[in-house]
């Protein structure tokens, strides 16, 4: 029973919060929290001493929060969810004190640029809400993550009624291997029914609280807050320009793929507007298309560049995949994985509990504990994923001695690019042959084009998907996309940028964006688009450092200590400098560009143009009429 006293307390807290919201304080980034009339501290030595004193405690709270998140993600119980929320609140309360103390300093006028940047990082990334609101926001995030992690699709035809399928590996195997369009559609629709549809209301509530939290620190909405980390006033326009540079190549690839799929599935109706049904691209989200490689191989008489069978033949395990990746980093003279990594990482799906299988790399902020959470299946796709996540860990290891405020990538795209950077070398025929995984590769024009096609189906097919998710999400945060239009705008973006459309009619009762982990988990996604572009600039620079003489797409930097030194010098900086500085240090330029990507794929681009001569290339920006009820 709720007593009248408790009700009175609750109403008082609610009144305070509502009053604060209707009469918001001045943005923290402009005027701060300081009401004390005493002068601000200008002594920078004293400021550095304060940072040295406060940071161990900061690392402790951050480490405990990460540990609680890890425990929940690797064991989805209500108890672990509760502890995760509690640790987030403890960190939030500590951050309030941290920011309040930071505002005692005249940090905006500090002469030391690194010190000024450190204080700005603390203040600008602080989110302020009444405690019961911030608690609710964390609770919503935990609930959505749990619903996503526990989702299963059941009642498949010709299967026992109690047999249920998880997304990885069960449903993804259907999406990637099956040629039965009814089975593929069952998996595609079922996953959306069991994920986003279940927490659409929770997501709307979360968005409202997240938006409100960013108002307190001077942002119009959460989208502007998330973009600010890139420290580029023209960021949105720069992204659009990159998409324009890439689009002609993507359209040629799309036209080729569409034509081959139409021949493969003559009983499927393809719309005249030029779109591809989203469930036929070999992936639950149509984000990458490499599972279609056998159908799309330019020279089918040449052996496949997929080495899954060889991994299985050689008795590879999840552990052996991680050990192979570690050996690559060591060959560059980089930091080996520390002992706790091997002892505490979750690299296969546990049989005794529910977990979030989405692969992720974790820094526990104590300079010794770094882990990966991944439900590994031994195949070439997880070979890629393993190297990608190990790249994140290498970045964590390199900047571990930075102050906690700088323990992050130069920008979020940097972090994602580092993992993919290593993959660009380890997937080359040269590297795979050196480790005995690609013995039958034919090194001629046909073999080369087969390799590039496989790369394009992974890297280039992804780009519009990587671009459109946050275009949609920023629209949600800004209010341009209300809950009643969540699904319609989601598919309008997919039709426009990817040239795909839903295989069954969608309604606003659906929430298909929520079928992608990064939406309910509130993980910004534009970082992956950025990474997929700049990784080719990074690769080009390191290949030069390694004195590579082969075409860019066949460069393998393994064993190059010079390339390793060049990379480590940048990774060690963390986020202590604006990203343009380490970017120029590595690439020699300050601006993101698709030129290196287009150079990498030039032989394939020329081949695709010849294949598509006389064919319709492209699609209408609008979705086909049959997309919505």
- How, if at all, do strands 164-165 and 153-154 pair? antiparallel
Taking a C-beta distance cutoff of 8 angstroms, is the pair 214, 529 a contact?
no
64 labeled binding residue: no
* Residue among 376, 396, 398 nearest 386 (CA): 376
392 labeled binding residue: yes
Rounded to 10 degrees, the C-alpha dihedral 538/544/546/550 comes to 100
* Percent composition of the chain: helix, strand, coil (DSSP 3-state, to 5): 60, 5, 35
Q: Token pair 């380490």 is at which residue?
A: 582
Taking a C-beta distance cutoff of 8 angstroms, is the pair 397, 114 a contact?
no
* Residue among 580, 587, 307, 543 nearest 424 (CA): 543
Distance CA 207, CA 73 (A): 22
| Paired tokens of 338 | 């520390």
Distance CA 422, CA 425 (A): 6
- How, if at all, do strands 360-363 and 370-373 pair? antiparallel
Q: Within a 10 A sphere around the Cβ of 544, how many other Cβ atoms?
A: 16
Return the exposure string of 486-515: e unless at least 16 CB atoms fall within 10 Å of the residue's CB, then b.
bbbbbbbbbbbbbbbbbbeebeeebbbbbb
Give the active site residue among 101, 518, 562, 577. Answer: 518
Alpha-carbon 475 to chain mean position: 19
Give the active site residue among 293, 389, 492, 540. Answer: 389
Question: SS3 for 487?
Answer: helix
230 labeled binding residue: yes
Task: Tell me whether the omega of the peptide bond preceding residue 617 falls within 30 degrees of 0, making it cis.
Answer: no
| Paired tokens of 599 | 């150079």
| Paired tokens of 113 | 């640029």
Question: SS3 for 500?
Answer: strand
Is 389 catalytic? The answer is yes
Distance CA 63, CA 61 (A): 5
| Paired tokens of 186 | 């069952």
Distance CA 246, CA 252 (A): 11
- Measured on CA atoms in the order 181, 182, 184, 188, is the torsion positive or negative? positive
* Residue among 385, 407, 388, 387 nearest 398 (CA): 407
388 labeled binding residue: yes
Q: Is 158 left (phi over 0), alpha (psi -120 to 50) or beta?
A: left
Taking a C-beta distance cutoff of 8 angstroms, is the pair 217, 124 a contact?
yes
Based on its alpha-carbon atoms, the radius of gyration of the chain, rounded to whole angstroms, reads 25
Distance CA 470, CA 270 (A): 27
Distance CA 457, CA 452 (A): 9
- Measured on CA atoms in the order 349, 364, 406, 324, is the torsion positive or negative? negative
Q: Within a 10 A sphere around the Cβ of 338, how many other Cβ atoms?
A: 15
| Paired tokens of 294 | 């056998």
- Measured on CA atoms in the order 337, 342, 343, 349, is the torsion positive or negative? positive
Query: Please, where are the H alpha helices in 460-525?
Result: 462-478, 486-493
- Residue ranges for the known binding site for chloride are 230, 527
- Residue ranges for the known binding site for Zn(2+) are 388, 392, 416
Question: Which positions are annotated as active-site residues?
Answer: 389, 518
């Amino acid at each position: 029973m709720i007593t009248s006293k408790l009700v009175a307390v609750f109403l008082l807290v609610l009144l305070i919060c509502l009053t604060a919201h209707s009469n918001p304080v001045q943005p923290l980034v402009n005027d701060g929290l300081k009401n004390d009339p005493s002068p601000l501290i200008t002594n920078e030595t004293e400021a550095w001493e304060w940072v040295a004193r406060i940071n161990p405690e900061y690392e402790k709270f951050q480490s405990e929060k990460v540990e609680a998140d890890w425990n929940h993600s690797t064991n989805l119980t209500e108890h672990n969810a509760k502890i995760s929320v509690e640790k987030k609140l403890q960190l939030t309360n500590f951050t309030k004190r941290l920011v309040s103390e930071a505002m005692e300093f005249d940090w905006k006028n500090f002469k030391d640029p690194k010190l000024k940047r450190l204080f700005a990082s603390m203040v600008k990334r602080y989110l302020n809400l009444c405690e019961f609101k911030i608690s609710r926001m964390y609770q919503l995030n935990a609930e959505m993550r749990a619903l996503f992690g526990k989702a299963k699709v059941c009642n498949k035809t010709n299967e026992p009624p109690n047999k249920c399928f998880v997304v990885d590996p069960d449903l993804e195997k259907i999406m990637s291997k099956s040629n039965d369009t009814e089975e593929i559609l069952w998996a595609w629709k079922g996953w959306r029914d069991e994920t986003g549809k279940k927490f659409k209301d929770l997501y709307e509530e979360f968005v409202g609280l997240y938006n409100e939290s960013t108002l307190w620190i001077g942002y119009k909405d959460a989208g502007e807050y998330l973009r600010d980390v890139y420290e580029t006033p023209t960021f949105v326009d720069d992204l659009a320009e990159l998409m324009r540079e890439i689009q002609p190549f993507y359209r040629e690839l799309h036209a080729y793929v569409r034509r081959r799929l139409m021949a493969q599935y003559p009983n499927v109706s393809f719309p005249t507007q030029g779109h591809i049904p989203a469930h036929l691209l070999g992936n639950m989200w149509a984000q990458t298309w490499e599972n279609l490689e056998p159908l799309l191989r330019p020279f089918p008489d040449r052996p496949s560049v997929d080495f899954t069978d060889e991994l299985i033949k050689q008795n590879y395990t999840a552990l052996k995949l991680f050990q192979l990746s570690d050996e690559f980093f060591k060959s560059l003279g980089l930091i080996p994985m520390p002992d706790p990594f091997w002892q505490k990482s979750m690299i296969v799906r546990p049989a005794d509990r529910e977990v979030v299988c989405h692969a992720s790399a974790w820094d526990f902020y104590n300079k010794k504990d770094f882990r990966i959470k991944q439900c590994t299946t031994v195949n070439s796709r997880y070979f890629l994923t393993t190297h990608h996540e190990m790249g994140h860990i290498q970045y964590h290891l390199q900047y571990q001695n930075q102050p906690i405020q700088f323990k992050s990538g130069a920008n979020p795209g940097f972090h994602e690019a580092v993992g993919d950077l290593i993959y660009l070398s380890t997937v080359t025929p040269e590297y795979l042959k050196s480790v005995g995984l690609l013995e039958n590769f034919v090194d001629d024009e046909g073999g080369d084009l087969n390799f590039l096609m496989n790369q394009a189906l992974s890297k280039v097919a992804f780009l519009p998907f990587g671009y459109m998710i946050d275009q949609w999400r920023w629209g949600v945060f800004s209010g341009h996309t209300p809950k009643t239009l969540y699904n319609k705008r989601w598919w309008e973006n997919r039709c426009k940028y990817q040239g795909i459309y839903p295989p069954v009619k969608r309604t606003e009762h659906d929430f298909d964006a929520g079928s992608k982990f990064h939406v309910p988990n509130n993980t910004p996604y534009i970082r992956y688009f950025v990474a997929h572009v700049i990784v080719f600039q990074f690769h080009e620079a390191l290949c030069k450092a390694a004195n590579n003489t082969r075409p860019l797409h066949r460069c393998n930097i393994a064993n190059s200590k010079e390339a390793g030194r060049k990379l480590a010098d940048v990774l060690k900086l963390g986020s202590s400098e604006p990203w343009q500085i380490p970017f120029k240090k590595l690439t020699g330029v300050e601006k993101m560009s698709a030129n290196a990507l287009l150079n990498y794929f030039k032989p394939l681009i020329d081949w695709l143009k010849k294949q598509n001569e006389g064919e319709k290339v492209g699609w209408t920006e609008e979705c086909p009429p049959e997309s919505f009820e």
